[in-house]
């Protein structure tokens, strides 16, 4: 009979030989030569990978920040231009309203008396200069209308374009 120890020893030797052939195909001579990846190596790889990822993220964040600053600057320029246009429009309207208001005040002053020639005289104003156009019955009425127009606040000058009817 066969000795059981020798049988087990032969079986272990046979298995070891089989494993050696198997490992030789993979480039390792024995199972004992394989070593697990150590934690230090993993830590180093993690640090390298982490720094690479943070570098890429930082570059992207910088690019995005630069783009956002450019967009903000462009938007600020557009807003400033819009505000300038709005201010200019406001000034034109204000000047126009001032001329309209001045015209209304002059009309109200010179046409207050009952004998005023309301349908025969046209009143316009531009930049504080009042223009009286039309025809009146007498030179005295003409002088009175010009004097009343000059008396209104805001009138810089009165252009007398009135004709006396004969």
pLDDT (tens digit, 9 = 90+) per residue, 139-151? 999 999 999 999 9
pLDDT (tens digit, 9 = 90+) per residue, 90-124? 887 776 668 889 999 999 999 998 888 888 999 99
Contacts of 74 (CB under 8 A, 6+ apart): none
Mean pLDDT score of the chain, rounded to an integer?
A: 83
Query: Is 3 within a domain?
Result: no
Query: Is 64 within a domain?
Result: yes
pLDDT on residue 124: 94
Query: Is 148 within a domain?
Result: yes
Query: Is 24 within a domain?
Result: no
Contacts of 3 (CB under 8 A, 6+ apart): none
- C-alpha 166, offset from chain centre: 67
CB 31 within 8 A of CB 19: yes
Pick left, alpha or beta for residue 58 (phi over 0 → left; psi -120 to 50 → alpha; otherwise beta). alpha
Query: Is 102 within a domain?
Result: yes
Number of domains forming the structure of the chain: 1
pLDDT on residue 36: 60
Query: Is 15 within a domain?
Result: no
Lowest mean pLDDT among 16-20, 114-118, 122-126, 161-165: 16-20
Q: Domain limits at 101?
A: 37-164
Query: Is 59 within a domain?
Result: yes
Q: Is the pTM of this model over 0.85?
A: no
Query: Is 4 within a domain?
Result: no
């Amino acid at each position: 009979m066969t000795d059981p120890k020798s049988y087990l020893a032969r079986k272990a030797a046979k298995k070891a030989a089989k494993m050696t052939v198997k490992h030789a195909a993979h480039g390792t001579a024995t199972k004992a030569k394989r070593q697990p990846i150590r934690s230090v190596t993993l830590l180093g790889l993690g640090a390298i990978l982490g720094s690479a990822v943070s570098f890429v993220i930082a570059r992207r964040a910088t690019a995005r920040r630069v783009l956002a600053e450019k967009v903000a600057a462009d938007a600020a320029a557009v807003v400033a231009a819009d505000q300038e246009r709005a201010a200019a429009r406001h000034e034109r309207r204000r000047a126009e309203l001032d001329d309209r208001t001045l015209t209304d005040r002059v009309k109200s002053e010179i046409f207050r008396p009952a004998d005023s020639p309301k349908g025969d005289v046209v009143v316009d104003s531009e930049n504080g200069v009042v223009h009286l156009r039309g025809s009146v019955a007498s030179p005295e009425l003409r002088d009175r209308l010009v004097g009343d127009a000059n008396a209104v606040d805001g009138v810089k000058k009165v252009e007398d374009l009135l004709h006396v009817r004969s």
